[in-house]
Amino acid sequence: MLFEEVAKYYEKLEGISSRLGMIDILTEMFKKAKKEEMKPLIYMTQGMLAPPFEGIEIGIAEKLAEESIAIATGYSKEEVEKSFKKTGDLGVTAEQLMAQSKLKRMTKEKFEAREVFERMKKIAQTSGEGSKEAKIKELAELLASSSPLEARYIVRFALGELRLGVGDATILEALSKVATGERSFKEKLENAYNICSDLGTIGEVLVEQGMKGIENFKVSLFKPIRPALAERLPTAEEILERMGGKCAVESKYDGLRAQVHVDKKSKRVEIFSRRLERLTDMFPEIVKAALDETKGNSLIFEGEAISYDEITGQFRPFQETIQRKRKHGVEEKSEELPLHLFAFDLLYYNGEDYLDKPYEERRKKLEEVIQGNGTIRLADRIIATTPQEIDRYFEDVVSNGLEGIVAKDLKARYIAGARKFSWIKMKRSYKGELTDTVDLVIVGYYTGKGSRAEFGFGGLLAAVYNDKKDMFETITKIGTGFTEQMMQDFKKMLEKIKVEKKPARVDALIEPDFWVVPKYVITVKADEITKSPMHTAGRHEENGVEVGYALRFPRIVGGGIREDKSPEEATTTKEIIEMFNQQRKTKLTDAAP
C-alpha cells in the first residue's frame, strides 16, 4: 500500500465529523492492507512506532523538523518559522512549502507506507554523537521526495502529533468490520486487546489466523495486561450489599500503579504503568526486588509504588512519588525517597494464566510468592462481613495518611481493562458533598480576555468519556486555578494539537475558540454536579427538555496534565451520573431532621 494512499485516508479522517464515518474510512483502509502491512499501518494510525510499552518514542523536536523542512524545500529556517507561526501546525507548513518548493522535487518511485514507517523508526532510534544532524538529514531526505500531502503527515508523525483523534476503540471497531463486516465482533477483539495491549499484534493475528486466533489469545510475559479498574460507592453498607455480605477490604495506596513482569531465567524485569508505558528504568530498586524477593520462575503481579517513610511510618503524597518520572537522577531519588511496592494482585505465575481464577485464589498465591518485608510487600487487607468492620478499617488507614480502601469481590476473576463492581473504592473525600475530584479530557480552549489576552489563553472546555459510545461529552468550561506559568504551558501544548473543526469523537453544543484532539487529562475539583442544557455529558430528556450534567465552580487542581492517564481513562459519563445520584442521596439525608 502506498503511503500516498494512506495520507489520503488520513485527510479524509480529518475531514469527517461522525465517529461512524471514521470507522468506515479506517475499515476501507485496513481492508486494502496486505498481511505484513497491517501492523505498521495500525501503529502509524495510532501515531506510534510501536506499542506504547516498548518505549520507542517518536516526538522529534519542532526546531529539528523545521530545519528538515528548510532543507527539503529550499526556504530559510526563518521563513519556515514564520509560516509555522501563521499555521500553528508544522505539518501544514511542510505541506504548503512543499507545494511551493524552491527546489525540484526529487524524482523517485512512490513510497510504500511500510518504507515511511521503517524510515521514521530509524530516525527515532538514531542516538549518540551527531544524531541530531543525522535525524535532520534523514527527515529532510524523506520530505524531499514526498508530495505536499504526504509531507503534512510525515511531519506530524515525526512530531508525535497526527491530530487524527482516532482512539483504540475506534480501531477495534474497524478491525471488527474488516473481519466480519459488522462491529459486533469488537468485544472479542477487545478481550484480546485487554490482555496484550498491542493493537498492531491484534490486527496481524486477525489477518493471519482469523477469528480463531483472536479467541485463543493468551497472556504473555512482557506484554502488559490492561489494568482492572475500580467502581466507587460512598458507604460501607452499599459496598457490602453489592458484594453479597462478604468481601476483602484492602488499603488504597495513593502512589503509582505498577505491573511487574519477571522472568528469572533471563533475569529480565519490566515494569509498566497504568497507561502501559515502560517504567522499568524509573524504579531500579523494584527491578532488583522483583528478582530477589519473589518466588517462582516467571510471574506478573500488580501493585502500587509509593514513597514511604520508614521512620515516621507515613506515606508520602502521590506528587512526591512521581517526581521520579519528571526528574532525572533516578539514582539519587531512589536514595532520597525510597519506594515500596505494595502488591495487590497476581496475574500470571510459572506459565499459568491467573486472570480467570477467583480473587481469593490469586491473593493466596500472591501471599506465597511474596513473603518478605523488603521493598516489595503485600497490600494490607482484612476480610469484612459487617459495615462496621469496613468503617473501622477505613478510619484506620486514613489516619495513616492513605487515601481510602478498595473492596474486592472474593469470587471475581481479574477483569482486565474494565471498571467493574468487583473492585469498589471508597475514598476519604467521598463522605459529604462533592469533594472528590474528577479527571476530564481537554477538548478545546479559549483565548484570554482582559489581563489574560497576553497569554492567548483564557480557559478550557473539558469533557468526560462515554465509554459506551466511545465519545467525549462536554461537562464544563474551566477558567480558574491556573497560574501564569500554567497558562503559558497550556497554550503551548494545546496549540500543537489544535484542529480546524470539532473532532468526530467529541459531542458538544458549545464552541470553544479552538478545538483540540482529545489527548490531555486534567484533574478538576468542583462544588457540585448540576444539570445544564449547555453540556452533553449524560444528555437526556427531562420534562420535555434535553439536559446534560455540568460542574459548578470547577477549578483545575494538581498543577497540570495527568500524564498517567489517557483520555479513555478519564472519568466516565456513567461515573458522573453515579456521583450525581450519590450527591443527591447525601443531600437528602443531610436535610432529614
Using CB under 6 A, pick the residue from 344, 354, 515, 549 that binds ligand AMP: 344
Distance separating alpha carbons of residues 345 and 225, to the nearest angstrom: 12
Using CB under 6 A, pick the residue from 9, 10, 253, 472 that binds ligand AMP: 253
* Residue 492 a catalytic site member: no
Task: Pick between residue 252 and residue 539 the one whose CB is nearest to ligand AMP.
Answer: 252
Task: Pick between residue 251 and residue 583 the one whose CB is nearest to ligand AMP.
Answer: 251
Least gap, CB of 110 to ligand AMP (angstroms): 46
CB 359 within 8 A of CB 411: yes
| 257 belongs to the binding site for ligand AMP (CB under 6 A) | yes
| 425 belongs to the binding site for ligand AMP (CB under 6 A) | yes
Task: Pick between residue 365 and residue 496 the one whose CB is nearest to ligand AMP.
Answer: 365
Task: Pick between residue 146 and residue 251 the one whose CB is nearest to ligand AMP.
Answer: 251
| 252 belongs to the binding site for ligand AMP (CB under 6 A) | yes
CA nearest to 201, candidates 186, 187, 189, 183: 189
Least gap, CB of 258 to ligand AMP (angstroms): 8
CA nearest to 251, candidates 374, 313, 342: 342
| 274 belongs to the binding site for ligand AMP (CB under 6 A) | yes
Which of the stretches 171-179, 249-257, 284-292, 351-359 binds ligand AMP when contact is defined by CB under 6 A? 249-257
Which of the stretches 145-153, 209-217, 250-258, 325-333 binds ligand AMP when contact is defined by CB under 6 A? 250-258
Using CB under 6 A, pick the residue from 379, 434, 442, 460 that binds ligand AMP: 379
Parallel, antiparallel or unpaired: strands 256-263 and 545-552: unpaired
Residue at 438: amino acid letter: V
| 362 belongs to the binding site for ligand AMP (CB under 6 A) | no
Exposed (0-12), middle (13-18) or buried (19+): which is 475, by Cβ within 10 Å? Answer: buried
| 19 belongs to the binding site for ligand AMP (CB under 6 A) | no
Using CB under 6 A, pick the residue from 406, 440, 471, 526 that binds ligand AMP: 406
Least gap, CB of 564 to ligand AMP (angstroms): 9
Give the torsion sign (CA, 9, 470, 39, 269).
positive
Distance between alpha carbon 476 and the CA centroid of its chain, in Å?
21
Exposed (0-12), middle (13-18) or buried (19+): which is 325, by Cβ within 10 Å? Answer: middle
CB 84 within 8 A of CB 156: no
Least gap, CB of 35 to ligand AMP (angstroms): 37
Give whole-number Cα distances, 33 to 20, 182, 486, in Å.
Answer: 20, 18, 43
Of residues 39, 186, 252, 519, which has the active-site annotation?
A: 252
Cα angle: 270, vertex 276, 282; to 5 degrees: 50
Exposed (0-12), middle (13-18) or buried (19+): which is 280, by Cβ within 10 Å? Answer: buried
Residue at 18: amino acid letter: S
Q: 109-168: which residues touch ligand AMP (CB under 6 A)?
A: none
Least gap, CB of 344 to ligand AMP (angstroms): 4
| 53 belongs to the binding site for ligand AMP (CB under 6 A) | no
Give the contact letters, 220-239, x = binds to ligand AMP (CB under 6 A), - = no: -------x-xx---------
How many residues bind ligand AMP (CB under 6 A)? The answer is 14
Exposed (0-12), middle (13-18) or buried (19+): which is 121, by Cβ within 10 Å? Answer: middle
Could you tell me the three cell numbers for 259?
Answer: 505491573
Could you tell me the three cell numbers for 265?
Answer: 531465567
| 564 belongs to the binding site for ligand AMP (CB under 6 A) | no
Which of the stretches 58-66, 135-143, 156-164, 248-256 binds ligand AMP when contact is defined by CB under 6 A? 248-256
Least gap, CB of 333 to ligand AMP (angstroms): 20
Residue with the closest Cβ to ligand AMP?
257
Q: Is 481 left (phi over 0), alpha (psi -120 to 50) or beta?
A: left
Residues marked active site are found at 252
Q: Which residues bind ligand AMP (CB under 6 A)?
A: 227, 229-230, 250-253, 257, 274, 304, 344, 379, 406, 425
